[in-house]
Amino acid sequence: MSNPVRVRFAPSPTGFLHVGSGHSALANWLVARQMGGEFLLRIEDTDVERNRPELVDNVLEMLHWLGLDWDGTPVHQSERGDLYAAAAEKLVAAGSVYFCDCTGDVVQARNKEAGGKPGYDGFCRDRNLEPGPGRAARFRTPHEGRTGWDDLVRGEVSFANADLEDFVVLRGNGAPMFLLANAFDDADMGITHVIRGEDHVNSTPKYLLLVDALGMARPEAFAHMPLLVNEGRKKLSKRRDDVSMSDYRDRGYLPEAMVNYLALLGWGPADGVEVRPISEIIDLYRLADVNASPAFFDQKKLSFVNAETIRGLSSEEFQRRAEPFLTYGAPAVAALASLATEVQERVRTLTEVEPMIEFLVVDEPEMDEASWTKAITKGKAVAEMLDATIARLDALAPGDWAPEHIQAAVSQAAIDAGHVNEEGGPQLSKAQGPVRVAISGRTVGPPLWESITVLGRDRTLARLRGTRASVG
């Protein structure tokens, strides 16, 4: 029987949790939960210059937000220096590494003179230097043979050993390099499946040589997840693209929608049903079905998945999720309750909720300039339509202040104002615009009849009259 599955997510805290790392974290988590295995966390914080320890909190908070619960306590590489030193000792004793005093500049100058390829040229390989300050330990890579693995996503991958440079394992100051800590820890923690981003493919042969030299067991499997790219097919970048997971949370994306969308990057269920509960994704997900080619992180599709997920919530749950995004507090909560279904059907993100109900909360809705231009400045028979609407609504009996009567009244007003179609019926698409802008300040929003019903007679008529006065 093979070992129980143990996977790990191993972020380096050099930035906020990135959607690309979230993608790798999710693949690990899905495999662990599907196989009844363990999902471990390891904070790879050995690079003291680039690490910002405070960012670990962001990483953990975002994993928690996404619902990617981990097993046990996160391991911090910064607390395992002794283990790496002992591993390095072992490599020294076995003759797997040698010491080197070449500075980067010296290596570069030699390469330039020789017109050779970049990278380390093996200058110190046979110099038998003793360890000492400023002397790095380099791995003695074989010159023959190949090192490879069967990647669950990419199939057979292998590198000619002759193409691998003698890479640094310990810096001149004795600090372990990323690869040593990374490969040692996977073996030491009993990781069975190394699932990570494709940017690590090129260093995997070195990782394998290291594990072999340490006399430790190789992981059973590797899976290198596809690179995430933007619409220009360029690798997502912190500077150019929206990549920070917390920004998506703050912009009103639901964690389950984000997780659902991330699962679809490079993978899709056989039945083609893309928006579905995480429990089903756990059952269906297969690393072997993940496509190795770069996956487009498509904001539009994410927003579609988010909208679908929002529509799938119960009304109570939708209101509960929207609440933190309602800056007006209790009055907005009440306003949302009065139009919850209508709003839930129309928003793509939770940040779109408040603008849709703001007209119910404020005394005077803020006029959206583009809406005003479109519906009022450029509209036809605007004054006539507003006058007719005021008259027709004013004439409604108090008991008739309900969507169907309001619709009938505004339809009549449209006919009064000359907004008629070929059959002589009301042409509401044109007629509605000024009315909607008058009551809400915007051309888009929840359905008009319900909106007017909830806004009430006094406020509706006051706003229609105010707008009528501005039209002149």
Token pair recorded at residue 191: 């990781």
| 10 vs 258, beta carbon nearer ligand GLU | 10
Report the distance separating Cα 421 and Cα 415, nearest Å.
9
Alpha-carbon radius of gyration of the chain: 31
| 12 vs 344, beta carbon nearer ligand GLU | 12
Q: Do the Cβ atoms of 420 and 426 come closer than 8 Å? A: yes
Q: CB of residue 77 vs ligand GLU: minimum separation in angstroms?
A: 9
Q: CB of residue 24 vs ligand GLU: minimum separation in angstroms?
A: 7
Report the distance separating Cα 206 and Cα 148, nearest Å.
10
Catalytic, 238? Answer yes
| 196 vs 346, beta carbon nearer ligand GLU | 196
| 41 vs 375, beta carbon nearer ligand GLU | 41
Query: What are the distances in angstroms from CA 208 to CA 37, 57, 138, 148, 248?
Result: 23, 31, 15, 8, 37
Query: What are the distances in angstroms from CA 147 to CA 98, 158, 208, 210, 358?
Result: 21, 5, 8, 11, 62
Contacts to ligand GLU by CB under 6 A: 10-12, 44, 182, 196, 200
Q: Which of 234, 238, 378, 380 is catalytic?
A: 238
Q: Do the Cβ atoms of 177 and 168 come closer than 8 Å? A: yes
Q: CB of residue 211 vs ligand GLU: minimum separation in angstroms?
A: 12
Report the distance separating Cα 218 and Cα 222, nearest Å.
10
Q: CB of residue 195 vs ligand GLU: minimum separation in angstroms?
A: 8
Single-letter amino acid code for the residue at 317: E
Q: CB of residue 161 vs ligand GLU: minimum separation in angstroms?
A: 21
**How many CB atoms within 10 Å of residue 157?**
18
| 42 vs 135, beta carbon nearer ligand GLU | 42
The residue sitting closest to ligand GLU, measured at its beta carbon, is 196
Tracing tokens 């890579």 back to the chain, one arrives at: 141
Report the distance separating Cα 220 and Cα 35, nearest Å.
14
Active site residues: 238
